[in-house]
Amino acid sequence: MRLRAAVASDRGLIRPSNEDSFFLRRGLYAVCDGMGGARAGEVASQMACLGLLALDPVSAGPEELRTAVVNTNKAIISRSFAEEHLLGMGTTLTAVLVREGSLILAHVGDSRAYLFHDGNLIQLSDDHSWVGEMVRRGELTPAQAAVHPHRSVITRALGTDGGLEPDLNELDIGEGDRILICSDGLSGFVSDVEIAELLARDEAPSAVVESLVRAALAGGGEDNVTVVVIDVVPGSDKEEAGDQVDDQVGDRILIGPSDRGDA
């Protein structure tokens, strides 16, 4: 099993800066969406991504991933109290650890992880948001939630609760699967139907992430948007680096955003 991944990030058409951050290292991928005034959200999301550097994707498992998230949450809280201009900062975090035949998901907030499998789009993460909880209780439909005035109110984020625990899930994956991680700048402005149509294209991840960002901008571009796409393809990551032509990561670690960059 070999992984090919790409990322694209854009501040959108309205926001003055990009408070999203991303992390790509072969086998470990994440998107974080920061919140807080005076660029504090940018600091929080970057801290969340940097906290993943403590993990070795080859040997880490669910408990190691959980510990990294818990420790990063505490670090964000400590810094927010130490620096007055950062008080109240927070961030979502959606991270996937991909190993031979399995995916481990750690999730806090309303950024999302999807699996595109056999032509079907499956949302792997639950939105930790006011409307997400209403949908799960049957009090709102997904269509109503998508246009609700409080759809951006999240109920769980790193930096807001010292006892926070991430959602952890593990599932089987295989060759031909495509994984998407995104901030709500995509999922809030592009329907799951359109996302599925774009993921179904027989294109490299680098082309797909650009198409997804363009769709988000066409849908209004009212928020920062960051997307990571990971393909599970035949072969081995031990093959020659020159054969990784559709993979932006290779043996590097990518941490952003690059503000209209695709790393």
> What are the tens digits of pLDDT across the range 83-121?
999 999 999 999 999 988 999 999 999 999 999 999 999
Mean of pLDDT values over 165-172: 98
196, part of any domain: yes
66, part of any domain: yes
Task: Say if residue 243's pLDDT is above 50.
Answer: no
Mean of pLDDT values over 120-142: 86
Q: How many helices (H) and strands (E) does the chain have?
A: 7, 12
pTM exceeding the 0.75 threshold for the entire prediction: yes
Q: What is the mean pLDDT of the chain?
A: 90
Which pLDDT band, with edges at 50, 70 and 90, does 34 fall under? very high
What pLDDT shows up at residue 38?
A: 64
d(CA 207, CA 213): 10
What pLDDT shows up at residue 241?
A: 42
pLDDT > 70 in the chain, percent: 93
What pLDDT shows up at residue 246?
A: 57
Number of domains present in the structure of the chain? 1
193, part of any domain: yes
Q: Are strands 20-25 and 28-35 parallel, antiparallel or unpaired?
A: antiparallel
What pLDDT shows up at residue 238?
A: 57
Task: Say if residue 12's pLDDT is above 60.
Answer: yes
What pLDDT shows up at residue 63?
A: 97
CB 220 within 8 A of CB 13: yes
In terms of Cβ atoms closer than 10 Å to its own Cβ (0-12, 13-18, 19+), residue 181 is buried
262, part of any domain: no
88, part of any domain: yes
For residue 236 the two structure tokens come to 């081995």
51, part of any domain: yes
**What CATH number did the domain enclosing 17 receive?**
3.60.40.10
261, part of any domain: no
What is the residue range of 48's domain? 2-256
What pLDDT shows up at residue 245?
A: 43
Q: Which residue has the higher pLDDT, 236 or 90?
A: 90
211, part of any domain: yes
